[in-house]
């Protein structure tokens, strides 16, 4: 893909989510204020072009380390949460100071996955962010690290940024990191590795290229960024990974200059309506194992899941809970909201609708997971 094609994909975007990783903001002492000022300057110039911006920012722990003189290096979760409590206010001070130079007001928005599980609260968060943007205020969004635990937290701010794209109705996600983009191999291990300027499909093979190493200063490494790219492109929104300390990187990206890796959006988005909420906020309560016929129907035909295609289940769940669907080899096929509880579902596994009607005396048999309540990312159905 040439420069012109980059411009075709990015040039018309009017609302951006910019995710700023800890590795961009962190310095040896904790936090680099000059980088925040550089980013604020670029965002101000984007605003002058009529482009709305939402920022998802890491850095609370790094700011806490700086505030305490660099003496504490956290090793435990309580220590990290305590540093986040110290640093979150300090992080916002940096942003407020930087943006005030350009006459821009910012607002702090702290989210947890648990706080967005209820659809009503999710809608409230969306309305708040939309109102801030309408008022010309830049939302600065972070996970509420002080109260988040493994059970209720987002995997990292890469996962959070995907959710914010939906909350903000954004049309481009830019992830700023300490690397130039996605490479064919780890450039730290192989100097001959080549950067991929365009990725058309975030396949399992692309995900595997990232390995499993975390980021230098935060929880999210390249793998989490690619998982985010898979989700956001499935919603029809392109994503760019670029080096955040590169001068005027945001301005160059918006101009369509190929300075990072561009992930192309699906031509026919499969994440729409409430599906981003299902994919990003709901914690699965169980697992359904499917036969090959059910997998084909879901991935290639876009069908709902019926009892006849389920071979076994794991976990205890209620109607309305989220579950994961896997094939017989353990590969994740889909996630969705289930219409049956686990106790009743066990009694009808593998049965056809007419057999269930005769067994339970029901005239109509609800799907196990309706396709409107299902998120399918691995298959070819778009």
User: Which amino acids are annotated as binding site for substrate, given as ranges?
Assistant: 58, 145, 157
**Residue 274: exposed, middle, or buried by beta-carbon count in 10 A (0-12, 13-18, 19+)?**
middle
Known binding-site residue numbers for ATP:
19, 177-178
Tell me, what's the pLDDT at 71?
80
pLDDT tens string 27-64:
776 688 899 999 999 999 999 999 999 999 988 888 88
Give the pLDDT score at 203.
85
Give me the chain's average pLDDT, please: 87
Annotated binding residues, written as ranges, equal 19, 58, 145, 157, 177-178
| CATH superfamily of this structure's domain 284-376 | PUA domain (2.30.130.10)
Q: Is the pLDDT of residue 155 over 80?
A: no
Three-state secondary structure readout of 73-87: CCCCHHHHHHHHHHH
Whether 263 shows a pLDDT value over 80: the answer reads yes
* Residues 128-149: tens digit of each pLDDT: 999 999 999 999 999 886 665 5
Write down the domain spans for the chain: 3-274, 284-376
3-274 CATH choice from 3.40.1160.10, 3.40.50.980, 3.90.420.10, 3.40.50.720: 3.40.1160.10
pLDDT digits (tens, 9 = 90+) for 279-311: 888 888 999 999 999 999 999 998 999 999 999
β strands within the chain, DSSP E: 15-20, 52-57, 106-111, 138-143, 172-177, 198-199, 239-243, 261-263, 286-290, 310-314, 322-326, 332-337, 374-376
């Amino acid at each position: 893909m040439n420069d012109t094609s980059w411009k075709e994909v990015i040039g018309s975007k009017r609302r951006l989510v910019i995710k700023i990783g800890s590795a961009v903001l962190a310095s040896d002492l904790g936090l680099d204020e000059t980088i925040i000022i550089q980013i604020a300057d670029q965002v101000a110039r984007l605003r002058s072009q009529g482009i709305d911006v939402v920022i998802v920012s890491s850095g609370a722990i790094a700011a806490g380390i700086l505030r305490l003189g660099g003496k504490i290096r956290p090793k435990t979760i309580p220590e990290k949460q305590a540093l986040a409590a110290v640093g979150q206010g300090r992080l916002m001070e940096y942003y407020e100071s930087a943006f005030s130079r350009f006459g821009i007001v910012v607002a702090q928005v702290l989210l947890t996955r648990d706080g967005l599980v209820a659809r009503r609260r999710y809608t409230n968060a969306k309305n708040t962010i939309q109102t801030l943007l309408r008022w010309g205020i830049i939302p600065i969004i972070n996970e509420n690290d002080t109260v988040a635990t493994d059970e209720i937290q987002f995997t990292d701010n890469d996962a959070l940024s995907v959710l914010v794209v939906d909350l903000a109705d954004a049309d481009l996600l830019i992830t700023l990191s300490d690397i130039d983009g996605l490479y064919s191999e780890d450039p730290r291990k192989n100097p001959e590795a080549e950067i991929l300027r365009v990725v058309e499909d975030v396949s399992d093979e692309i995900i595997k290229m990232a390995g499993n190493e975390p980021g230098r200063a935060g929880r999210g490494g390249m793998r989490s960024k690619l998982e985010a790219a898979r989700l956001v492109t499935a919603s029809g929104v392109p994503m760019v990974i670029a080096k955040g300390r590169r001068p005027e990187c945001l301005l160059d990206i918006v101009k369509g200059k190929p300075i990072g890796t561009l992930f192309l959006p699906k031509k026919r988005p499969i994440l729409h309506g409430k599906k981003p909420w299902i994919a990003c906020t709901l914690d699965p309560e169980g697992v359904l194992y499917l036969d090959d016929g059910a997998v084909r129907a879901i991935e290639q035909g876009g069908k709902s899941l019926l009892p006849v295609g389920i071979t076994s289940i794991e976990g205890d769940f209620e109607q309305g809970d989220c579950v994961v669907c896997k094939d017989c080899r353990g590969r994740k096929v889909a996630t969705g909201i289930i219409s049956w509880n686990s106790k009743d579902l066990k009694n009808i596994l593998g049965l056809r609708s007419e057999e269930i009607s005769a067994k339970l005396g029901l005239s109509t048999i609800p799907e196990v997971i309706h396709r409107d309540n299902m998120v399918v990312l691995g298959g070819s159905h778009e």
